[in-house]
Amino acid sequence: MMQFSFVKSLIKQWGISLLALAIAVGVSLFVLYPGITDFLSKHKEVSDMQNSINNVLVPKINILQKQNLALLSDYLLTMEILVPSQPNVPLIFTLIENSAKNLGLTVSSLAFSDSTASTEVQSQAVGVSFTVAGEDEKLLTFAKGLSAVSPILKVSKMTLLSSTDGNQKSLNISINSPYLAILSSLGAANLPIQELSKEDQKTLEELKKTFLDPQKQPGFFAPTPMPVGKSNPF
C-alpha cells in the first residue's frame, strides 16, 4: 500500500516534468523553428533590398546627377538626324535624287520596301532600292557619298552593269536606313545605367559638329572629293 502511494506520487512528479518537456519540444518545433526560419529569410531579403539601393540606385543617381542635360539633348538631336524616330522615305529619295543630279547622273528607278526588323541591333529599317546611270567615276563618287549622308544608309546589295560600248554604266543599289523611336517609357528603376564613355563622347562630339552644322542640314549633299588612289600597277 505504501509502495503504491509512492508510485502515484512519482507519476505525478514525472507527469508534470514530462508535460513541461513535451510543451518545450512542441513550442520549439511548431513556433520557434518556423519563427527562426522566417526571420532568417526575411533578414536576408531586407539586406538584399538594402544592397540593391546601395549598389544600383545610389550609383545610378550619381551618374544621372553628373549629366549635362543641354549637352545630352544636343547629342540626341544629332543621333536623331542619323537614326530618326520614324522612317523618312521622302528625305532619302530627295537625297538620292539631289546627289545624282549634282553629279550629272540619271536616276531611272526608285523604290522602297516595307520596314523590316533589323537582325543586327534592336531597330527597324526601311529598305530603298534605286538605279542610277552615268559615267563610272561619277557612279563611284555617288556610291561613296551615300555613306556620308544623314540619315545613315547602309548598302546591302549592289549591281554594276556596263553598257555595250562600255562608256556608260548603270548601278543598282539596295540600301537600308535604320530608325528607332525615342523611348516613351523608362525601364525599371532598379536597372543599372551606364554613362557615356570618353570614346562615345568624342564620337558624338565629332558627329555633332558635322551634322548640327546649319550648312549640312538634311537635303544638302556635297559629294566627297575623289581620293587619290594608288598608281595603277599595269
Rounded least distance, CB 71 to another protein, Å: 10
State yes or no: residue 109 binds another protein (CB under 8 A).
no
State yes or no: residue 42 binds another protein (CB under 8 A).
yes
Q: What angle do CA 110, 116, 120 make, to 5 degrees?
A: 115
State yes or no: residue 96 binds another protein (CB under 8 A).
no
Rounded least distance, CB 227 to another protein, Å: 8
Q: Say how far apart CA 74 and CA 204 lie, in whole Å.
A: 9
Query: Using CB under 8 A, which of 89, 140, 168, 223 touches another protein?
Result: 140
Residue 199, amino acid: E
Query: Using CB under 8 A, which of 30, 55, 61, 111 touches another protein?
Result: 61
Rounded least distance, CB 23 to another protein, Å: 8
Q: CA of 27: how far to CAs of 13, 24, 37, 40, 51, in Å?
A: 21, 5, 14, 18, 34
Query: Using CB under 8 A, which of 30, 43, 59, 101 touches another protein?
Result: 43
Contact 102, 116 (CB under 8 A): no
Query: Using CB under 8 A, which of 16, 29, 111, 222 touches another protein?
Result: 16
SS3 105: coil
> Segment 162-191, which members bind another protein (CB under 8 A)?
162, 166, 169, 174, 176, 178, 180, 182-183, 186-187, 189
Residue 187 dihedral angles phi and psi, to the nearest 5°:
-70, 180
Q: Which residue has the cell 523611348?
A: 183
State yes or no: residue 65 binds another protein (CB under 8 A).
yes
